[in-house]
C-alpha cells in the first residue's frame, strides 16, 4: 500500500495522522495540501506556504502542493484535482487518508471522486465524538491556534486563540467543538507528530467575505475572520 495524507495544516489532520502512524501496516510517505495560487496560502485556512513547509519538515514526511485557482468553479476545481490525483496514481499511490469526522456528504463526494483511480480511503477520525476528540487532542499535547473563524458564528475575538480548556469553555453551545461544520479552522504548531514546534508570531486580523455556497442570490455573502501567522526565522 502506497498512501498519501490529505494535509490541511490543522488539528483534525494532525490527530488523524497521529492515529494512522500508530498502525504498523500503514506507511504514509507523502502529505498533500491544496494552496490558493493567488495568495500562496493553504485554502480555507489562510496559512502561509512557508509555515506549511516547516510543518512537513518537522513531521518528517515530504510535502506535495496542489495549486488551485482563487474561488474556482466546481468544474475547474474538479479538473485541477483530477489532474493532480492522476499524477499521484501514476506514481503508484493507491490509498489516501482524510481527517473528516462526520460530514456524510463530504465523505461520499471523496469516495465518488477517487473511485475511478481505485484508491482505498482511510478516515481515522470517522464518527468519533467530537467532544472526546478535542479533549484527546489537548491531552496528547497537541498545540493549535485558530486561524479562521466564521464571522456570524464566532467572530474576530476567536481568531488567534489557542485550542485549550479556556477556548472550549467559551465556545457557544451551537458550535461543534472540532469546528466540523466550518465554524473555525486551525494551524497545528506542536505535538507528538512534530520533532520541534513551529515558531511564528501574530500578524493582522482581516475579515473577508465570499459568495455564499449554493445560494441563488448573488448578493448573499458569508464572512470569515483570518489571523495572519508570520514565520519566525532564526
Q: What is the pLDDT of residue 72?
A: 72
Domain ranges of the chain: 3-122, 130-231
pLDDT score for 234: 67
- Reply yes or no on whether the pLDDT at 217 is more than 60: no
Chain segment 115-169, per-residue pLDDT in tens: 999 999 999 999 999 999 999 999 999 999 999 999 999 999 999 999 999 999 9
Q: Is the pLDDT of residue 215 over 60?
A: no
Using the predicted structure, report yes or no on whether residue 214 has a pLDDT greater than 90.
Answer: no
Express each pLDDT in 31-75 by its tens digit.
Answer: 999 999 999 999 989 999 999 999 999 999 999 999 998 777 888
What is the pLDDT, as a whole number, of residue 71?
75
At a CB cut-off of 8 Å and minimum separation 6, what does 108 contact? none
Asked if residue 47 lies in contact with residue 229, where contact means CB atoms within 8 angstroms, the answer is: yes
86-102 per-position pLDDT tens digit = 999 999 999 999 999 99
Q: Quick one: fold of 3-122?
A: Rossmann fold (3.40.50)
* Contact of 10 with 144, CB cutoff 8 Å: yes
Amino acid at each position: 500500500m502506497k498512501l498519501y495524507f490529505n494535509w490541511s495544516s490543522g488539528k483534525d489532520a494532525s490527530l488523524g495522522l497521529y492515529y494512522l502512524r500508530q498502525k504498523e501496516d500503514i506507511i504514509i510517505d507523502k502529505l498533500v495540501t491544496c494552496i490558493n495560487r493567488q495568495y500562496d496560502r493553504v485554502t480555507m485556512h489562510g496559512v502561509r506556504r512557508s509555515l506549511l513547509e516547516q510543518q512537513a519538515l518537522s513531521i518528517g514526511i515530504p510535502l506535495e502542493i496542489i495549486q488551485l485557482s482563487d474561488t474556482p468553479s466546481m468544474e475547474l476545481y474538479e479538473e485541477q484535482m483530477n489532474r493532480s490525483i492522476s499524477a499521484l496514481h501514476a506514481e503508484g499511490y493507491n490509498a489516501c487518508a482524510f481527517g473528516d469526522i462526520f460530514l456524510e456528504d463530504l465523505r461520499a463526494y471523496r469516495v465518488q471522486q477517487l473511485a475511478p483511480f481505485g484508491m482505498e480511503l482511510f478516515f481515522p477520525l470517522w464518527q468519533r465524538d467530537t467532544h472526546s476528540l478535542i479533549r484527546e487532542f489537548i491531552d496528547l499535547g497537541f498545540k493549535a491556534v485558530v486561524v479562521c473563524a466564521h464571522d456570524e458564528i464566532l467572530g474576530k475575538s476567536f481568531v488567534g486563540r489557542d485550542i485549550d480548556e479556556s477556548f472550549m469553555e467559551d465556545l457557544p453551545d451551537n458550535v461543534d467543538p472540532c469546528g466540523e461544520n466550518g465554524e473555525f479552522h486551525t494551524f497545528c504548531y506542536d505535538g507528538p507528530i512534530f520533532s520541534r514546534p513551529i515558531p511564528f508570531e501574530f500578524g493582522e486580523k482581516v475579515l473577508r467575505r465570499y459568495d455564499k455556497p449554493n445560494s441563488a442570490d448573488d448578493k448573499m455573502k458569508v464572512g470569515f475572520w483570518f489571523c495572519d501567522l508570520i514565520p519566525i526565522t532564526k
